[in-house]
Amino acid sequence: MIQAMKRNIGRGRRASPALPTLVASIAAACACAPSHGPAAAADIDGAAVLALATELAGPAHAGRALGSPGGALAAELLAGRLREAGFEVAFRDFPERVPVNAGNAALETVAPDGSTEGFAWREDFREIARGGYEGGPAEGPLFLVSDPGAPFPRGSILLVPGRLSDPEDDASYAARGAAGLVVELVGTDPARRPLWAGQAPGTLVVPKQGFVKIGVSGGAFARLAASAPGTRLRIESPLRFVDAMGRNVVATRDGDGGGAAPRLVVCAHYDHVGADRDGSYFPGALDNATGAAMAVALGAALAAALPGADLAVLLLDGEEVNLSGSTAFARAPDFPLAGVTVLNLDMLGSRADLPVSVYSLGDPAGSRLARALVAALEAAGFRSAHEAPVRNLDHTPFSMAGASAASITEYDTADYHTKRDLPAGLSEDELDRLGDALASWALAELAGP
Helices assigned H by DSSP within 252-394:
290-305, 319-322, 324-331, 364-379
366 and 249 within one domain: yes
Query: In the structure, what pLDDT confidence band is assigned to residue 260 with cuts at 50, 70 and 90?
Result: confident
199 and 291 within one domain: no
Does the residue 176 lie in any domain? yes
Residue 17 three-state SS: coil
- Report pLDDT for 101: 95
407 and 272 within one domain: yes
Nearest CA-CA partner of 330 in 340, 117, 320: 340
pLDDT digits (tens, 9 = 90+) for 136-168: 999 999 999 999 999 999 999 999 999 999 999
Does the residue 42 lie in any domain? yes
Query: In the structure, what pLDDT confidence band is assigned to residue 3 with cuts at 50, 70 and 90?
Result: low
Does the residue 17 lie in any domain? no
On the question of pLDDT at 170 being above 80, the answer is yes
Strands 384-387 and 356-359 turn out to be parallel
What are the φ and ψ backbone dihedral angles of 180, each rounded to 5 degrees? Answer: -170, 175
**Last residue within a domain, chosen from 191, 216, 237:** 237
325 and 225 within one domain: no
Does the residue 435 lie in any domain? yes
Does the residue 13 lie in any domain? no
What are the φ and ψ backbone dihedral angles of 262, each rounded to 5 degrees? Answer: -65, 140
Give the CA dihedral 345, 337, 315, 51, nearest 10 degrees.
Answer: 50
CATH number, domain of 199, equals 3.50.30.30
331 and 264 within one domain: yes
CATH number, domain of 385, equals 3.40.630.10
Q: How many C-beta atoms surround the C-beta of residue 189 within 10 A?
A: 18
231 and 340 within one domain: no
397 and 253 within one domain: yes
193 and 47 within one domain: no
**Last residue within a domain, chosen from 237, 261, 286:** 237
Distance CA 137, CA 327 (A): 35
Find the farthest-apart pair of alpha carbons in the chain and give their distance in angstroms, rounded: 82
Q: What is the mean pLDDT of the chain?
A: 91
pLDDT digits (tens, 9 = 90+) for 50-68: 999 999 999 999 999 999 9
Q: Residues 363-401, buried b or exposed e (16+ Cβ, 10 A)?
A: bebbbebbebbbebbeebebebebeeebbbbbbbbbbbb
pLDDT digits (tens, 9 = 90+) for 20-38: 344 344 344 343 333 344 4
For the chain, give the number of residues.
449
**Last residue within a domain, chosen from 177, 209, 237:** 237
373 and 264 within one domain: yes
Does the residue 2 lie in any domain? no
413 and 307 within one domain: yes
Q: At what angle are helices 69-84 and 46-56 packed, to 10 degrees?
A: 150
On the question of pLDDT at 4 being above 50, the answer is no
121 and 93 within one domain: no
pLDDT digits (tens, 9 = 90+) for 315-368: 999 999 999 999 999 999 999 999 999 999 999 999 778 899 999 999 999 999
Distance CA 434, CA 127 (A): 36
State which amino acid sits at residue 213: K
252 and 353 within one domain: yes
pLDDT digits (tens, 9 = 90+) for 86-137: 999 999 999 999 999 999 999 999 999 999 999 999 999 999 999 999 999 9
- How many helices and strands, by DSSP H and E, does the chain display? 11, 16
Percent of the chain whose predicted confidence (pLDDT) is above 90: 86
Report yes or no: 295 and 315 within 8 Å, Cβ to Cβ. yes
User: How many structural domains are present in the chain?
Assistant: 2
On the question of pLDDT at 186 being above 90, the answer is yes
Does the residue 6 lie in any domain? no
Average pLDDT over residues 391-414: 95
Distance CA 65, CA 274 (A): 4
Does the residue 119 lie in any domain? yes
Report yes or no: 261 and 252 within 8 Å, Cβ to Cβ. no
Which residue segment(s) compose the domain that 437 sits in? 22-99+243-447
Distance CA 413, CA 418 (A): 10
